[in-house]
């Protein structure tokens, strides 16, 4: 039997979609605005290091936890529609455990493999500082994705939208501020232009982490504010169907894998571009120009 959608539900869907769309536009505009001062502070070389680190971070994030909001939202919404609040709560717990594992694994790979990725694959050894600064963000994003998906599964986009806006505002402010501070510190210590650019790039990536922390705090605030309602719904749950924790975990993994595969294949081109660019510059004997030219391509252009 097809499920009938009421006019009220349809209007709510449009409102929630509009909220998320407006937030997405604001986030993109803020992101566009802060790139200008960031490029002027860290220069083309610094932007080369920053882009290298960010592209690798993005693909590791895709492989680990980027699909969590979609998977959790899909699973939670189907249970909420049948008033299975206990099962929905089990999904949240299973997803948080999954986030802990994959987020932690992503952190370890990026943090401890930063030198290998920067030196061997991209031919930009100093990009390791920016990579290591970004590593903890992968872990934080995993938890953030779970909470965003959980609220979306309850048919509300407000927490996600607000967290995205606050995330980008803090990201912009801290990225520019930290990049300026670390560049000045490198100058005072007479580290040289290359190290100054690398420190500045690391400052830019610190902003990404700071924004993610704020976004997670916003989501946690919504989570605790709605705790009483959630507890009441669980106590009033009279449904007989009780899913096991292992079954929910299996379904979660099977839901996540296709999304990971499709998005990773689609987005891996930026990582391959950076690797091919670095190896090509090495073959041409232009290693010293790699970070500067890559920064012009990815940041200025």
Euclidean distance between CA atoms 285 and 288, whole angstroms: 8
Query: Among residues of the chain, what percentage have pLDDT more than 90?
Result: 27
Specify the pLDDT at position 100: 93
Confidence of residue 219 (pLDDT cuts 50, 70, 90): very high
- H-assigned helices in the chain: 7-64, 68-80, 85-116, 128-153, 158-188, 193-225, 227-235, 245-267, 269-283, 290-295
Domain ranges of the chain: 47-300
pLDDT tens for 156-195 read 888 888 898 899 999 999 999 999 998 888 888 877 788 8
Q: Which pLDDT band holds residue 3 (cuts at 50, 70, 90)?
A: very low
What single-letter DSSP state applies at residue 122? Answer: S
31, 173 Cβ separation under 8 angstroms: no
Let me know if 4 is exposed, middle or buried by CB neighbors in 10 A (0-12, 13-18, 19+): exposed
Task: Please give the model's pTM, rounded to 2 decimal places.
Answer: 0.84
pLDDT in tens, 231-267: 898 888 888 788 888 888 888 888 888 877 777 777 7
pLDDT in tens, 16-71: 777 777 877 888 888 778 888 888 888 888 888 888 888 888 888 887 777 888 88
Band of residue 139 on the pLDDT scale cut at 50, 70, 90:
very high
């Amino acid at each position: 039997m097809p499920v009938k959608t009421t006019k009220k539900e349809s209007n709510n869907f449009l409102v929630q979609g509009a909220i998320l769309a407006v937030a997405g536009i604001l986030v993109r505009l803020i992101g566009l605005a802060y790139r200008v001062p960031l490029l002027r502070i860290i220069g083309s070389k610094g932007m080369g290091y920053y882009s290298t680190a960010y592209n690798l971070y993005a693909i590791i994030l895709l492989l680990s936890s980027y699909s969590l909001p979609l998977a959790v939202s899909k699973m939670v919404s189907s249970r909420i529609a049948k008033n299975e609040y206990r099962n929905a709560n089990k999904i949240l717990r299973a997803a948080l455990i999954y986030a802990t594992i994959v987020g932690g694994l992503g952190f370890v790979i990026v943090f401890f493999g930063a030198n290998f990725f920067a030196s061997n694959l991209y031919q930009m050894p100093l990009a390791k500082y920016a990579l290591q600064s970004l590593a903890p963000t992968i872990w934080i994003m995993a938890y953030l994705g779970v909470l965003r998906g959980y609220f979306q599964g309850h048919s509300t986009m407000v927490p996600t939208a607000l967290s995205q806006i606050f995330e980008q505002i803090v990201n912009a402010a801290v990225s520019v501020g930290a990049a300026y501070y670390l560049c000045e510190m490198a100058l005072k210590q007479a580290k040289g232009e290359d190290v100054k650019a690398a420190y500045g790039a690391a400052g830019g990536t610190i902003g990404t982490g700071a924004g993610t922390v704020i976004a997670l705090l916003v989501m946690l605030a919504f989570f605790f504010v709605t705790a009483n309602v959630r507890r009441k719904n669980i106590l009033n749950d009279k449904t007989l169907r009780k899913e096991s924790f292992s079954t929910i975990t299996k379904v979660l993994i099977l839901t996540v894998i296709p999304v990971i595969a499709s998005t990773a294949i689609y987005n891996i081109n930026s990582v391959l571009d950076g690797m091919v660019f670095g190896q090509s510059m090495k073959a041409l004997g232009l290693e010293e120009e790699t970070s500067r030219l890559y920064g012009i391509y990815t940041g200025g252009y």
